Amino acid sequence: MSQFRPIHGFHAILAKLRHAPDSIREIYLDAGRADARARDLIRRAEVAGVRLLPVDAARLAAMAPGASHQGVVAHVDAATPYVTLDDVLDTLEEPPLLLVLDGIQDPHNLGACLRVADAVGAHAVIAPKDRAVGLTQTAIKVASGAAETVPYIAVTNLARTLRELKERDICVIGTDAAATQDLYTAEWPVATAWVLGAEADGMRRLTRENCDQLVSIPLLGSVASLNVSVAAGVCLYEARRRRS
């Protein structure tokens, strides 16, 4: 099984069925699920010619230990790339919650951000292909399994991607210590993409210019800034809290 990696959750597996069905070895679905979402997955797997196996909850738990797998796990070719951003967005059944990382250089920080994104239920992590660390083995290890469950989308032009998100009515919110509004007083719509900059330099100019709004995270002590993964957790959990 070493040539395959597990992914779980409906939006990740549906996106893989749309984008790269040949990369899926098989899908395991909770035998107790007969709802519309499960029926749609079964139909799409049949159309794609992908084998789908009904299994019990205990087997799914063993395949994705400690994960919120939603009753579905798939084994996919470890060599295939992750899905595109459009594939993720087109399969969502709720307003998008995205994390955008502009120029993160430390693989430990990237891995920690992926772990935060998984915990809060973010739908994807977006980052530029250039001037960023990328999904290294260190980042994957630090992510503690989240690199297999949260789509990591590396884009050629981050500023263009932000404009495309706005065309989909997704509010792009950047974090900036100099912003006039803080995280807790600012208002924003449900569909959001949260942009955090690099460890030392913050967001690049074009990235900042393509944000719909900027917010700061209140710092009440003596430190001047937060680690990027901590800042990501603060912003994403506040966004998730407001949804509830």
Q: What is the arithmetic mean of pLDDT over 91-101?
A: 91
Structural domain count, the chain: 2
Of 56, 77, 98, the residue that ends a domain is: 77
Does 7 appear as a known binding residue?
no
Extended beta strands in 187-237, E state: 192-197, 213-215
Are 127 and 230 found together in one domain? Answer: yes
- Neighbouring C-beta atoms of residue 218, cutoff 10 Å: 9
Q: What is the arithmetic mean of pLDDT over 182-209?
A: 94
Does 140 appear as a known binding residue?
no
Does 71 appear as a known binding residue?
no
pLDDT of residue 101: 97
Are 94 and 176 found together in one domain? Answer: yes
pLDDT of residue 1: 40
Between 194 and 85, whose confidence is greater? 194
- Read off the CATH number of the domain in which 46 is found: 3.30.1330.30
Cα atoms found within 13 Å of the Cα of residue 180, Cβ hemisphere only: 1
Between 242 and 143, whose confidence is greater? 242
> CA torsion 110→114→120→122, rounded to 10°?
110
Are 140 and 26 found together in one domain? Answer: no
Which residues constitute the domain of residue 116?
85-243
pLDDT of residue 155: 94
pLDDT of residue 199: 74
Are 24 and 89 found together in one domain? Answer: no
Are 46 and 89 found together in one domain? Answer: no
Share above pLDDT 90 across residues of the chain, in percent, rounded to a whole number: 64
pLDDT of residue 113: 97
Find tokens 């404009």 and name the residue.
Answer: 163
Of 53, 77, 101, the residue that ends a domain is: 77
Are 92 and 209 found together in one domain? Answer: yes
Which stretch of DSSP H or E encloses residue 7? Answer: strand 4-8
Per mean pLDDT, which of 35-39, 68-72, 134-138 is the most reliable?
35-39
Are 162 and 234 found together in one domain? Answer: yes
Of 43, 77, 111, the residue that ends a domain is: 77
The DSSP call for residue 78 is T
Q: Is the pLDDT of residue 102 over 70?
A: yes
pLDDT of residue 39: 94
Are 156 and 111 found together in one domain? Answer: yes
Are 45 and 115 found together in one domain? Answer: no
* pLDDT tens sequence across 43-55: 999 999 999 999 9
Are 95 and 160 found together in one domain? Answer: yes
Q: Is the pLDDT of residue 168 over 90?
A: yes
Q: Decide: residue 5, CB within 10 A, 0-12 exposed, 13-18 middle, 19+ buried.
A: middle
Are 177 and 217 found together in one domain? Answer: yes
Strands 152-155, 52-55: pairing is unpaired
- Read off the CATH number of the domain in which 104 is found: 3.40.1280.10
* pLDDT tens sequence across 215-228: 999 999 998 889 99
Are 10 and 127 found together in one domain? Answer: no
pLDDT of residue 149: 76
Least confident of 15-29, 81-95, 110-124, 193-207: 81-95
